[in-house]
Amino acid sequence: GHPDIINILKRIDTELSLIPLNDQVHKVNIEQVFVLDYKPSLKHYFFELAGHWLSGLLKGKLEEEDTFSLNNPEKAYLEKGGFLFFAQFKNEIVGCVALKRLDEDTFEFAKLFVDPKFRSLGIATKLIERCISRCKENSVKELWLQSNMSMKQAHKLYYKLGFTDEN
């Protein structure tokens, strides 16, 4: 069956209140990470970040749907009631994530990417937290995640945040 999103959200709240020592060490840096809502001037970063990563992962073979959504994020996500967020560290845009609306009560998050040079700063977690709080604000019943099983680090993070595998 489907995981109870409320339990997941409670677990995440608990998780986040127990700030790991590692994060406290990085606190200086984390303070400088901002999660920004989409605005037109940020559009090109979506392809620069997620597009380059995805085409690397797929050895240059982007599917039509990916090519479209990476180049037209406002049509692919925003016009359908979804959201796009960007992570800014100091003055650089270093990460992105899309929250895609599947229907009235369901979202899926997609295209989560953080520049490898900025990977140990808790940025992915911040982007996911923003997605989750946006889901809460919209009384979403389910948040889906499609992930490539070969990405071990990503999986550790998703499990830590309360996501479960759908059999």
- Give me 111's structure tokens: 């295209």
Instruction: Answer yes or no: is pLDDT of 166 > 90.
Output: no
- The per-residue pLDDT for range 18-34, each reduced to its tens digit, is 555 555 555 545 568 99
- The per-residue pLDDT for range 58-103, each reduced to its tens digit, is 777 778 888 899 999 999 999 999 999 999 998 899 999 999 999 9
> What confidence score (pLDDT) does residue 6 get?
65
- The per-residue pLDDT for range 91-117, each reduced to its tens digit, is 899 999 999 999 999 999 888 889 989
- What's the CA dihedral at 147, 153, 154, 157 to 10 degrees? 130
Q: Which residues on adjacent β-strands are paired with residue 145?
A: 109
Instruction: Answer yes or no: is pLDDT of 122 > 80.
Output: yes
Q: What percent of the chain has pLDDT over 90?
A: 38
> What confidence score (pLDDT) does residue 57 get?
74
Instruction: State the average pLDDT over residues 157-166.
Output: 71
| 63 phi, psi to nearest 5 deg | -70, 155
> What confidence score (pLDDT) does residue 17 get?
58
- Collapse the DSSP code of 22 into the 3-class scheme (helix H, G, I; strand E, B; otherwise coil) and give the result: helix
Q: Which residues on adjacent β-strands are paired with residue 36?
A: 86
Look-up of token digits 């020592």 = 21
The angle at the Cα of 148, spanning 84 to 139, to the nearest 5 degrees, equals: 40
> What confidence score (pLDDT) does residue 39 get?
95
Q: What percent of the chain has pLDDT over 70?
A: 73
Name the H helices within the chain: 5-17, 21-25, 27-31, 43-46, 52-57, 64-71, 73-76, 123-137, 152-160
